[in-house]
């Protein structure tokens, strides 16, 4: 069932004419994508962008550019209209790096220290997130005593405290069993839907899990010449609007939808030519 929504003119993220070279080697070419604010009458929903592509196409490099960790050779990345800088965007790496010698509470206080909130507001926000993500009883625990899913939640909260509304997740489903993937998917949806301006970008090789929770997909790959040779520099070959296709906001019923399976099938087929 398709959902009613309105796409506003407000640009949350704008990637314009981004290219990347290492020496003479062109890694990324003419990347142009935009994430706009989306409003629904029936619920508060942020944006989840699934960022897919075969290995070796420059996903990691674009991820770092979006995070402000690397500068593109050409082009700009704007977050809420301002050039992105390192620290502006929350980044959750694949193995959830935390300070192992600090408790969960201390790790989160380190994240909150980068904000301009008052001490009371920082503590209130930490408490809210811990309760929201069902780990309120883990504040005095050290990361080594947590499960992988719990460590991931702490890492996500830490970055939300730094960034507020923008989060990049690197392979959040990697190495997880079916039950954990479901749990992580629900956490990502929870984060996105805290505020309509919240935006989560997921870099992943797990096509079904990414499609199931995304509002849009970016698919990175090469162009080819008439002889079948790859042209230098990968670009965004396809942008899939899952809202327009009625797939977004249907989790977990999405797995029963023929439209969902058709999108997954088409992406897997497209990977062979990217």
pTM for the full model? 0.87
Phi then psi for 29, rounded to 5 degrees? -140, 125
pLDDT at residue 165, rounded to an integer: 77
pLDDT at residue 1, rounded to an integer: 63
Domains, the chain, with CATH or none? 6-80+165-271 (3.40.50.300), 98-163 (no CATH)
CB 174 within 8 A of CB 206: yes
Query: Exposed, middle or buried: residue 242 (CB in 10 Å: 0-12, 13-18, 19+)?
Result: buried
pLDDT, mean of each 10-residue run, the chain (274 residues):
86 96 95 94 92 91 93 95 87 79 92 81 89 89 88 84 82 84 88 89 94 96 92 94 94 96 96 90
231 φ/ψ sector (left φ>0, alpha ψ -120 to 50, else beta): beta
pLDDT at residue 148, rounded to an integer: 80
């Amino acid at each position: 069932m398709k959902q009613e929504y309105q796409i506003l003119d407000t640009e949350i993220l704008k990637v314009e004419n981004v290219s990347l070279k290492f020496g003479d080697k062109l890694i990324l070419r003419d990347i142009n994508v935009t994430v706009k604010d989306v409003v629904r009458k029936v619920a508060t929903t942020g944006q989840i962008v699934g960022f897919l592509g075969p290995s070796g196409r420059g996903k990691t490099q674009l991820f770092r550019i979006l995070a402000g960790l690397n500068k593109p050779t050409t082009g700009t990345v704007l977050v809420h209209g301002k050039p992105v800088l390192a620290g502006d965007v929350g980044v959750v790496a694949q193995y959830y790096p935390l300070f192992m010698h600090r408790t969960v509470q201390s790790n989160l206080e380190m994240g909150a220290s980068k904000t301009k909130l008052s001490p009371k507001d920082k503590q209130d926000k930490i408490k809210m997130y811990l309760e929201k993500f069902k780990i309120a009883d883990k504040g005095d625990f050290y990361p080594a005593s947590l499960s992988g899913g719990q460590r991931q939640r702490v890492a996500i909260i830490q970055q939300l405290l730094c960034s507020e509304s923008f989060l990049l997740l690197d392979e959040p489903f990697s190495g997880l069993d079916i039950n954990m993937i479901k749990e992580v998917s629900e956490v990502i949806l929870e984060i996105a839907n805290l505020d309509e301006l919240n935006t989560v970008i997921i870099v992943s090789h797990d096509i079904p899990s990414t499609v199931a929770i995304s509002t849009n997909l970016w698919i990175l790959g090469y162009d080819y010449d008439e002889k079948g040779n790859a042209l230098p520099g990968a670009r965004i070959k396809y942008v899939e609007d899952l809202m327009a296709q009625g797939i977004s906001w249907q989790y977990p019923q999405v797995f029963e939808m023929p439209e969902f399976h058709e999108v997954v099938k088409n992406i897997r087929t497209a990977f062979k030519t990217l």
